[in-house]
């Protein structure tokens, strides 16, 4: 199966949750779309209440013979390198911008980090159904923003789609066609974003998102840089300084499927998974095969 890892960067209210929900239903990832829609919405409302996106999440869907992991990014500046680590899991970004509001200053930080990492953006102008949509100006504003953030010529030559997440379509023109739904966005992700990158060697994964689960204990999510992993496999955890923090065994590997997680018998390099079984390893630590000696450094920015 082919694999793409992408992030969607958007200002709050520009329609990210609605778009992801439509992507899920149009990819046929769920039978019970209504239920999913409600649950995606629920978690987002909670974030809005708190005012910020606290935990980046991963949604996974299948389009034709490709699985696409969609990583949510905090829509704001952060402390301690969280944004860099999250963006290090992906090979492409979709910058989603409201056709009336245009790019907002708050997204500058995350967009700037994505550009510095060398990610080639896809720009999706959303909510073109709004009567006050001004997509031509908004494209210019996006271009100016990228240029001000030192985008390369290649990054400035970004492909653009227009559409309405709510109405479930994206197209090369703000007028449509609408009857192809979100297929143009899926196709652009497949053609513009490189295949999930991998390296040679034994199992290595940079801890990127940490959570506590009442049944599984500590769960760490990350992108597998190299090798593969199975439940019960021995792993060690290295700090950024190369010192061993702990040794243990993986009790469970969880893959993202839709907005759910399902246990896997094996996970391979390139994929984004969550692992349980270790008690001390945390974000920015390297989870790896016991023979590995060098930790992964989050790409310096």
Positions in the binding site for ligand GDP (CB under 6 A): 10, 12-18, 44, 126-127, 129-130, 164-167
Cα separation, 82 vs 68, in Å, equals 22
| Tokens coding 257 | 């499927």
The nearest distance, CB 114 to ligand GDP, in angstroms, is 17
The nearest distance, CB 188 to ligand GDP, in angstroms, is 18
Order of strands across the sheet that contains 121-126: 58-63, 66-72, 2-10, 92-98, 121-126, 160-164, 169-171
Q: What are phi and psi of 268, to 5 degrees?
A: -120, 165
| Contact between residue 281 and residue 246 where contact means Cβ atoms under 8 Å apart | yes
The residues, ordered by sequence, that sit 6+ positions from 223 with a Cβ below 8 Å of its Cβ are 5, 88, 89, 196, 205, 206, 208, 270, 271, 272
Nearer to ligand GDP, 124 or 272 (CB): 124
Q: Is the Cα dihedral 21, 38, 87, 223 positive or negative?
A: negative
Nearer to ligand GDP, 4 or 16 (CB): 16
The nearest distance, CB 110 to ligand GDP, in angstroms, is 13
Nearer to ligand GDP, 108 or 130 (CB): 130
Residue 13's closest CA among 77, 71, 109, 97?
97
The nearest distance, CB 12 to ligand GDP, in angstroms, is 5
**DSSP H/E element including 136:** helix 135-148
Nearer to ligand GDP, 13 or 137 (CB): 13
The nearest distance, CB 240 to ligand GDP, in angstroms, is 33
The nearest distance, CB 165 to ligand GDP, in angstroms, is 4
Nearer to ligand GDP, 72 or 271 (CB): 72
| Contact between residue 204 and residue 223 where contact means Cβ atoms under 8 Å apart | no
The nearest distance, CB 126 to ligand GDP, in angstroms, is 5
Residue 221's closest CA among 231, 242, 237, 207?
207
Nearer to ligand GDP, 133 or 272 (CB): 133
Nearer to ligand GDP, 112 or 163 (CB): 163
């Amino acid at each position: 199966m082919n694999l793409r890892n992408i992030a969607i960067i958007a200002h709050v209210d520009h329609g990210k949750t609605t778009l992801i929900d439509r992507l899920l239903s149009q990819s046929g990832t769920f039978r019970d779309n209504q239920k999913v829609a409600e649950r995606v919405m629920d978690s987002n409302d909670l974030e809005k209440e708190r005012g910020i996106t606290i935990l980046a999440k991963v949604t996974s869907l299948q389009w034709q013979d490709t699985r696409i992991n969609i990583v949510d990014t905090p829509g704001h500046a952060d402390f301690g390198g969280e944004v860099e680590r999250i963006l290090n899991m992906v090979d492409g970004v979709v910058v989603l911008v409201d056709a009336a509001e245009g790019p907002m200053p708050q997204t500058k930080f995350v967009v700037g980090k994505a550009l510095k990492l060398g990610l080639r953006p896809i720009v999706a102008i959303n909510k073109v159904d709004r009567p006050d949509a001004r997509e031509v100006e908004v494209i210019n504003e996006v271009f100016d923003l990228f240029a001000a953030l030192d985008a390369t010529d290649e990054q400035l030559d970004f492909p653009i789609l227009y559409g309405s997440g709510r109405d479930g379509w994206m197209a090369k023109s703000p007028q449509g066609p609408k009857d192809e739904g979100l297929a143009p966005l899926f196709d652009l992700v497949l053609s513009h974003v490189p295949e999930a990158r991998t390296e040679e060697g034994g199992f290595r994964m940079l801890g990127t998102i940490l959570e506590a689960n009442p049944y599984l204990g500590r769960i760490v999510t990350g992108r597998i840089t190299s090798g593969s992993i199975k439940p019960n496999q021995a792993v060690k955890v290295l700090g950024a300084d190369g010192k061993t923090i702990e040794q243990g065994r993986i009790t469970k590997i969880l893959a993202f499927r839709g907005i759910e997680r399902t246990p896997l018998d094996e996970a391979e390099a390139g994929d984004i998974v969550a692992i349980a079984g270790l008690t001390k390893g945390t974000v920015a630590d390297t989870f790896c095969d016991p023979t590995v000696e060098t930790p992964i450094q989050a790409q310096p920015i």
